[in-house]
């Protein structure tokens, strides 16, 4: 288990300085079905929050993505979750119509209510210098638009550069960062008129090398071969 819930931690979260790398956010994007899992063929790890099952395996185009529940007994999750306010389970948060029961279970959710710094995620086991994509599913689509939502941030201040997702959208946000440490902090701020936020699931992936980078590597290899031949 890697989840902590305590009001004692409120002051710590509110006053601590984040050492996190800058995250460039995109979205929000509507969930279609399990094919919405970002880069499902390059997953580092996948975590669920609020799922009644310790593990769910989702198959996307013949590729299995294993989601581990953060509170699964006997398992050390690579994701830490610290909350400063109350949290409740919402097993019906996702209202998509794809009919896949396992996928709907993955999107069972924790709902958070309260004040600033409602919850903090810490991604563990990162490699410094590697570029990562983090996909956060944040949906509570059974509620009307504008009532509930979450702002996602790479620091503990809700401001410029952050991204808000309305829980009614039934969607996710995507963030890209270059790890400058073996951990990365992500903060969630409850929003909407009811000040309630959602966290369903998280997927960490490594983007595929760009074609430019591949061309650069090819050119370097050619130069090395020519240098050896000349020698």
* 137-191 pLDDT, tens digit each: 999 866 788 888 999 999 877 677 899 999 988 999 999 999 999 999 999 988 8
End-to-end CA distance of the chain: 57
User: What is the reported pLDDT for 229?
Assistant: 55
Report the mean per-residue pLDDT for the chain: 81
Closest CA to 98 of 34, 186, 28: 34
Cα 77 to Cα 92: distance, rounded to the nearest angstrom: 24
User: What is the reported pLDDT for 50?
Assistant: 87
pLDDT digits (tens, 9 = 90+) for 111-139: 887 655 578 999 999 999 999 999 999 99
- For residue 13, give the 3-state DSSP assignment: helix
- 95 and 141 in contact (C-beta within 8 Å)? yes
- 206 and 131 in contact (C-beta within 8 Å)? yes
User: What is the reported pLDDT for 15?
Assistant: 38
- Across the range 192-220, mean pLDDT stands at 71
User: What is the reported pLDDT for 156?
Assistant: 79
- Across the range 60-74, mean pLDDT stands at 92
Cα 139 to Cα 117: distance, rounded to the nearest angstrom: 18
Query: What's the whole-model pTM score?
Result: 0.83
The pLDDT-based confidence of 222 (bands split at 50, 70, 90) is very low
């Amino acid at each position: 288990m890697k989840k902590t819930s305590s009001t004692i931690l409120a002051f710590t979260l509110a006053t601590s300085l984040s050492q996190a790398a800058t995250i460039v956010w995109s979205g929000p994007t509507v969930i279609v079905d399990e094919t919405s899992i970002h880069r499902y063929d390059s997953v580092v790890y996948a975590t669920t929050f609020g799922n009644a099952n310790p593990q769910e395996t989702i198959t996307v185009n013949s590729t299995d993505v294993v989601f581990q529940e953060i509170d699964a007994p006997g398992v050390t999750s690579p994701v830490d979750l610290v909350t400063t306010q109350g949290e409740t389970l919402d097993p019906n948060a996702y209202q998509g119509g794809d009919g896949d029961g396992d996928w709907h279970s993955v999107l069972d959710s924790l709902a958070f209510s309260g004040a600033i710094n409602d919850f903090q995620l810490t991604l563990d086991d990162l490699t410094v210098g590697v570029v990562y994509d983090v996909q956060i599913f944040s949906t509570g689509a059974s509620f009307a638009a504008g009532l509930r939502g979450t702002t996602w941030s790479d620091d503990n201040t809700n401001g410029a550069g952050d991204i808000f997702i309305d829980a009614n959208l039934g969607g996710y946000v995507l963030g890209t960062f270059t790890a400058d440490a073996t951990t990365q902090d992500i903060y969630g701020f409850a929003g909407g008129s009811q000040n309630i936020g959602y966290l369903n699931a998280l997927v960490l992936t490594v983007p595929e090398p760009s074609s430019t980078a591949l061309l650069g590597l090819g050119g370097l290899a050619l130069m090395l071969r020519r240098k050896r031949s000349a020698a």
